[in-house]
Chain A
Amino acid sequence: MRTIQLFDSRFLLPVVALALILLTNLILSPEFFHLEFKDGRLYGSLVDVLNRSAPCALLAIGMSLVIATGGIDLSVGAVIAITGAVCANLLNSSIDSISLIVLAGLFVGVVAGAVNGGLVSFFGIQPIVATLVLMVAGRGIAQLINDGQIVTFQNPAFASIGVGSIFGLPSPVVITLGIFLLAQAFVRLTAMGLFIEASGCNPKASSYIGIPVRTIKWSVYVMSGLCAAVAGMIITADIHGADANNAGLWLELDAILAVVLGGASLAGGRFSLPLTLIGVLIIQAMTTTIIMSGIDPKFNLLIKSLIIVTVLLLQSPILRGQIRGFFARKHKAENSAVVESQS
């Protein structure tokens, strides 16, 4: 069992980046840190950051596992759209049981993940292509289910998945936290995490020492699909409707970015769920900060990409080495200059 070392050097940079983004708000909009209890729930921009990052966080948890096996799952955004469409249409049908509808939503995620995983691990199709199929087709499926419309529903019980609160926190935050803890326990309290990393690092060697590489790869896609389904239900519940065109659009890219910001390697073999979550928070804190600050929306994407490039550059071992080398040389040069002047 590995414990999380908070002051592990891998943690330092993402945490500092997140803190800097949050601190920017002290200057731009001090209301950002205002927290209050309203109708029995915590209310404020910081809570919004957590709440709005929930769908991306769920995707990123699944994505971390997939990326750790050396794969990638581009279909999660489309799975969100399908799950939303299925749930919204079931809510408008004669089925009353919310738990049945939630189960149906989860089932959609499992099926999507099983198809992706099957294509990748049993048919040997490259992950980026295998999941691209569902990424493109999935949105079409969702539009077919929705008949090209935004399907809305009036169901306070289902809507509470997105807008309700548990223990004074928005329910998406609590759900995401629960799934994160479950996933973290699953990969770190068992050998699963090690197997996943081994499958990503060297599938051949792993399979020789008896790790069921194919099954592991297949199961991470199923988990990713499952996480996407939960995210899909949160997004659908949040706006009381399923928007097949826009629900989860490009969210898979944000999730991949979060995993990378968390220091994982896209080649597989290394991942950290807590770091991924910090990556997600960096992305969402940026978005909320931009909205709160009143910057012209034309600059939104430019600012976001500049910050991300900076963080990624600072994480790059080559650049770090060069910076270290530069200072070391300067130091050496100064030293030798001193030595020369002394002689």
Chain B
Amino acid sequence: MRIIYLLACLLAFVGCGESGKQADHDHGNQGKKALVIGFSQVGSESSWRTSFSESVKAEAARRGIDLKFSDAQQKQENQIKAIRSFIAQGVDAIVVAPVVETGWKPVLVEAKRAGIPVVIVDRNMALDDDSLFLTRIASDFVEEGRKAARWLMEATGGTCNIVELQGTVGATAAIDRMAGFKEVISAYPDAKIIRSQTGEFTRSKGKEVMEAFLKAEQGGKNICAVWAHNDEMALGAVLAIKEAGLNPGKDILIVSVDAVPDIFKAMADGDTNATVELSPHMGGPAFDAIEAYLSGKRDIPKLITVDGGVYTQETAAEEYAKRKK
């Protein structure tokens, strides 16, 4: 047990060493009166997360903000260390994309004492004191579910047997997307979810679950559409549908959420039909709020939601060209 603990300490140490290096690295091009903002990102575990980081960096560069970027490699300890180092450096504001919801209070109290405003982006923090942060910028998962459902109801005229690939059980994104989707289709008596299982937000689990759904519903003849809580599972479902000898995008419609580059390729190829963008562009609203606060404005709402559009096959090819690296 002690050895495991030592190992964990060692890993945490190596991790924060690297993130510290990263922050120092970005320090060089500090302008004269430019805002200095520290940004603690979760890591780079998915392509969506990578576009999120890129978007924030690009927005900072556009506004001439000196952004100190720190990658926490999925570890809260690293994020807390990064925030402490931002406080020690006396930055003008701190932006945090928290990896988990709990355990943030002590470090936020430190930031408050130092008079540094903190903006929470993406996931939530469980805090009982509103004064610890300036505002929270987040996507509206419920609205994403509604958008996907509205698109599907329009495309099918409201008559559809839907199978649902849920995200990880208990994840906020999965619960809210499910609720938003159900809310819209409840107005259509001929639309119903006939099967629903978790594909754990991954491509391979999405494929496995879809394979079983196809077999359970008479080789897929019963299924009109797949509603996947993220693009990865939708891409897995495409593979399963193809292997069952059906035509994804035509025999079975597919709608998902995220708008990662790969889904645009699939849409351009006609394999999936629509995706709702989970907007990675949260840097803009975050910087807006910080600039407003620093110029003396005090009535900033505690939650600002960002909206993403619905993308379909028509624009998929050009979007893919724009988004792929």
- Which A residues lie at the B interface, using CB under 8 A? 29, 31-32, 34, 38-39, 43-45, 48, 52, 126, 129, 132-133, 136, 143, 148-150, 152, 163, 235, 238-241, 243, 245-247, 288, 290-292, 294, 296-298, 300
Contact = CB atoms under 8 A, between A and B. Distances in A.
Contacts of B209: 291
A271 to B, nearest CB: 26
11 contacts: A31-B218, A48-B215, A132-B4, A132-B7, A136-B7, A148-B50, A239-B204, A246-B205, A290-B197, A291-B212, A292-B215
| Majority secondary structure of chain B interface residues (helix, strand, loop or mixed) | helix
B147 interface: no
Contact of A129 (B3, B44, B205, B243): B3
Nearest to B201: A246
Nearest to A129: B3
Contacts of B46: 148, 150, 245
Interface of B: 3-4, 7, 11, 43-47, 49-50, 166, 169, 195-198, 200, 202-205, 207-209, 211-213, 215-216, 218, 232, 235-236, 239, 243-245, 262
A148 B54 CA distance: 13
Given A48-B212, A291-B209, A246 B239 contact: no
Given A150-B262, A239-B204, A297 B198 contact: yes
A45 B214 CA distance: 10
B245 A39 contact: yes
A247 B205 CA distance: 10
Contacts of A298: 169
Candidate in B3, B204, B207, B244 with the most chain A CB atoms within 10 angstroms: B204
Contact of B232 (A150, A238, A240): A150
B50 A239 contact: no
Given A148-B50, A235-B204, A241-B203, A300 B7 contact: no
Nearest to B46: A245
Nearest to B3: A129
Contacts of B169: 297-298, 300
Given A136-B11, A235-B204, 10 more contacts: A32-B215, A38-B245, A45-B212, A126-B3, A132-B4, A148-B43, A150-B46, A243-B232, A246-B203, A294-B216
Nearest to A149: B47
Contacts of A45: 212, 215
Contacts, number: 93
B212 A292 contact: yes
A239 B236 contact: yes
A48 B219 CA distance: 13
A163 B204 contact: no
A149 B50 contact: yes
Scoring B211, B232, B236 by chain A CB atoms within 10 A of each residue's CB, the highest score goes to B211
A31 B207 contact: no
Contacts of A235: 204
A150 B47 contact: yes
Contact of B202 (A240, A243, A294, A300): A243
Given A31-B218, A149-B50, A297-B166, A246 B204 contact: yes
Closest A-B pairs by Cβ, 6 of them: A148-B44, A297-B198, A291-B212, A246-B202, A239-B203, A239-B204
B262 A152 contact: yes
A287 B195 CA distance: 15
Nearest to A137: B11
Contacts of B239: 163, 238-240
A291 B208 contact: yes
A242 B241 CA distance: 20
A150 to B, nearest CB: 7
B262 A148 contact: no
Nearest to B235: A239
A296 B178 CA distance: 13
B207 A239 contact: yes
A235 B207 CA distance: 11
Nearest to B210: A291
A148 B45 CA distance: 6
A31 B217 CA distance: 8
A129 B244 CA distance: 43
B197 A291 contact: yes
B45 A238 contact: no
Contacts of A300: 169, 198
A43 B205 CA distance: 19
A300 B200 CA distance: 12
Contact of A243 (B7, B204, B213, B244): B204
B196 A297 contact: yes
Nearest to B170: A298
A243 B203 contact: yes
Contacts of B200: 246
A38 B262 CA distance: 29
Nearest to B200: A246
